[in-house]
Amino acid sequence: MARKAIFITGGGSGIGRATARHFAAQGWFVGIADIHAQGIDETAALLPEGASSRHVMDVRDRDQWKTALDAFAAESGGRLDVLFNNAGIGTGGQFIDIPPEETDRLIAINLGGVVNGIHMALPLLRATPGSAILNTGSASGFYGVAGLAVYSATKFAVRGLTEGLEIEFAKYGIKVRSLMPGFIDTPLLDQVSADSNEPARNRLSASGYEIVPVERVAEAAWDAVHGDRVHVTVGKMAKRLARLSRWFPGLVAKQSKKIDGLG
């Protein structure tokens, strides 16, 4: 039997890179997909020889998806055990300050890219017994975050898509899962919002918010595709927000105001 295989978008850095390393360490074949060729090469260099394939692609383009998945299948023996829709951008700031073109890009990548991936990968997933789809969501998919309103909206949408397809795809034997992390230790936290000269990382730390290492997210990704929970929270903040948004939404609104503008 061919070794199990995972295709990871956004695999050139952050969560994608950490997940590629974690799955490769378990003997899996890893398709590394990203819009940045250098990031792909850097991730591949961290994996065992012969454990990966490289795919430069834009998740907004379905033709590029087809080309990448065809090439991946040729190297994985036709298997796709996990599609990890991880690629995303984290544009933040006050809604009034963000150009409409940037909100279009945010929606096209964070939601459209996920939808495209599922459409294009479904034949391979259906042909692989016990396969799974894993989507990167966010704790902001539990309750909208000021300063991240459109980003939150895309993660709400990913959450809803995950829940709906988990039901629809059960008849095909395909699991559908999402990761719901809080603030993750990636370069996104080094961005400076329009209303501050200080990186988000510094403001979060000063406010006492937990910043979760990417390795913990990679471990959660492994648990998600092997477990029964549809949504897997990562980090204390995400777990707390999931509970509060369900039972005490008013408290979540107050907390959100504290991080307004973190972007």
Q: What is the C-alpha to C-alpha distance for residues 152 and 160, in angstroms, rounded to an integer?
A: 12
**Selection from 262, 261, 242, 245 nearest residue 253 by Cα:** 245
Catalytic: 151? yes
User: Residue 134: how many CB atoms within 10 A of its CB?
Assistant: 25
Question: Considering 143, 151, 172, 209, which one is annotated as catalytic?
Answer: 151
**Selection from 113, 150, 155, 132 nearest residue 242 by Cα:** 155
Residues tagged active-site: 151
